[in-house]
Structure 1
Amino acid sequence: MTWTIYLSGEIHTDWRERIESGAAEAGLAVRFTAPVTHHEASDDAGVAILGAEAEKFWHDHKGAQVNAIRTRTLIGKADIVVVRFGEKYKQWNAAFDAGYAAALGKPLIVMHQDEHAHALKEVDAAALAVAKTPEQVVAILRYVIDGALEGYTDGKDAAR
């Protein structure tokens, strides 16, 4: 079985690439999906396709709706959803994705630093794991997909 992992959240660091390369190095049978991470393209998708809007609200509204087609579809098809909350920006869309995944009953891994623990306590409560680093996410994926736990002689030991 190939697992589908949806990677949601901040777009300003290399966390997605670190998870993807770590999963490849671990030989995990995974396929990664994500929202459009080109910030301007994502913001302008609605008006670029459906036509300009005079007011910023409607510009953003069209973009959000077009992006939601992708997001809802890919979260719905995911086996696991990983949501990253970064240090610099408020990722309201990431919080929405986490809630949407939780409502669908998707296994949810949340990633953020300690300073966001209070603000994200409800999101964390819905998650099955709360990690701080992409490497911890890879270790979780390795364990749940292959039953392999670092420090054990083989994956079978971890599953006992």
Structure 2
Amino acid sequence: MGWNIYLSGEIHTDWRDQIKTGCAQRGLSVSFSSAVTDHAASDAAGDVLGDEDRPFWRDHKSAKVNAIRTRTLIEKCDLAVVRFGDQYRQWNAAFDAGTCAALGKPYITLHDDTLIHPLKEVDAAAMAWATDVEQVVDMLVYLTTQD
């Protein structure tokens, strides 16, 4: 069975590539999807709908356009990995985790132990909490290779 894994969360490190590489090295039958990780492109997603005088309305339109992609990909995934980094607050990642929970999609959170308290509700709904990419890859090996 080929699994579709949705990778959500921070965009400032190469954690997505590390997971993809680790899964490829282990020969897993998985595919990956993600939100748009180019920050400028994501911010401009709604610009096709016309210019805005106020930043709020530009952000509002872009959020709605991005939500089309995000919700569709989460609905189609078998499992999501939601990464929270320490450099920025990832409100979008928390929203993605909530979407997964509402849709009954299993998800794994990925963050260090400094975020245990702020993410307690997000982690409580997760199927697992990983502290590093290797743990995620090891879980994917187990999940996708057992008969």
Q: Which TM-score band (shorter chain)? A: over 0.9
Q: What letter matches 2:45 in structure 1? A: A
User: For the residues of structure 2 that align with 1:37 and 1:75, how far apart are their CA atoms?
Assistant: 15
Alignment match, 1:71: 70
Alignment match, 1:13: 13
User: For the residues of structure 2 that align with 1:103 and 1:135, how far apart are their CA atoms?
Assistant: 27
Q: Cα RMSD over matched residues? A: 0.8
User: For the residues of structure 2 that align with 1:107 and 1:140, how far apart are their CA atoms?
Assistant: 13
Q: Within 5 Å, give how 1:61-100 maps onto structure 2.
A: 61-100=60-99
User: Gaps spanning 5+ residues in structure 2: where?
Assistant: none
User: For the residues of structure 1 that align with 2:13 and 2:86, how far apart are their CA atoms?
Assistant: 10
Cα offsets for 1:17-73 (capped at 9, x unmatched) = 0000000011110000000000000001101x1111100000000000000000000
Alignment match, 1:152: none
Structure 1 residue 31 corresponds to structure 2 residue 65 = no
User: For the residues of structure 2 that align with 1:16 and 1:102, how far apart are their CA atoms?
Assistant: 21
Cα offsets for 1:77-130 (capped at 9, x unmatched) = 000010000010000000000000011111110000101000000000000000
Alignment match, 2:55: 56
Q: Which has the larger radius of gyration?
A: 1
Q: Which runs of 4+ in 1 moved over 2 A?
A: none
User: For the residues of structure 1 that align with 2:80 and 2:102, how far apart are their CA atoms?
Assistant: 12
Percent identity of paired positions between Structure 1 and Structure 2: 62
Q: What letter matches 1:114 in structure 2? A: D
User: For the residues of structure 1 that align with 2:137 and 2:105, how far apart are their CA atoms?
Assistant: 18
| TM-score normalised according to structure 1 size | 0.90
Aligned length: 147
Alignment match, 1:45: 45
Q: What letter matches 1:126 in structure 2? A: A
> Larger relative contact order (C-alpha < 8 A, sep ≥ 6)?
2
| TM-score normalised according to structure 2 size | 0.98
